[in-house]
């Protein structure tokens, strides 16, 4: 089955760190650019980051401001995002998503999401 499964969400204090993982299966992970998109409770979608298929190119939304790092392990078919200096406003469901082949800026396969809650 073609799927993405996120893990690593949870409650963290402001200023803390968290790493999300996304396990890919059912497709050739190494052939696709990948990304993260988040959704605050009751709000719309917000692009977080994208990484190229080779892992050599990374892109971030303006709000990240050097706090998050996207990476991938091509041997484990897994995508990561390391989130540091977390703020209350980072509270959201974080979706892992596969980019459309040939276009890293549209997403055609999504995970179910991981909830990150930043609160004291």
- List residues near another protein by CB under 8 A: 37, 44-47, 50, 59, 61-62, 95, 100, 103, 105-108, 110-113
Q: Pick between residue 6 and residue 90 the one whose CB is nearest to another protein.
A: 6
Residues paired with residue 39 on neighbouring β-strands, in sequence order: 45, 93
Least spacing, CB of residue 1 vs another protein, in Å: 15
CA separation for the pair 1, 48 (Å, rounded): 26
Least spacing, CB of residue 29 vs another protein, in Å: 18
Least spacing, CB of residue 44 vs another protein, in Å: 5
């Amino acid at each position: 089955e073609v799927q993405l499964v996120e893990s690593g969400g949870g409650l963290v204090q402001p200023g803390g760190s968290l790493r999300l993982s996304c396990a890919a299966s059912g497709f050739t992970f190494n052939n696709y650019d990948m990304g993260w998109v988040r959704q605050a409770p009751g709000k719309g979608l917000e692009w977080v980051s994208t990484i190229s298929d080779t892992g050599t190119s990374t892109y971030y939304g303006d709000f990240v401001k050097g706090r998050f790092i996207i990476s991938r392990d091509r041997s484990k078919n897994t995508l990561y995002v390391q989130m540091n200096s977390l703020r209350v406003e980072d509270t959201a469901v974080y979706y892992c998503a596969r980019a459309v082949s040939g276009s890293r800026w549209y997403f055609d396969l999504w995970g179910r999401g991981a909830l990150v809650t930043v609160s004291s």
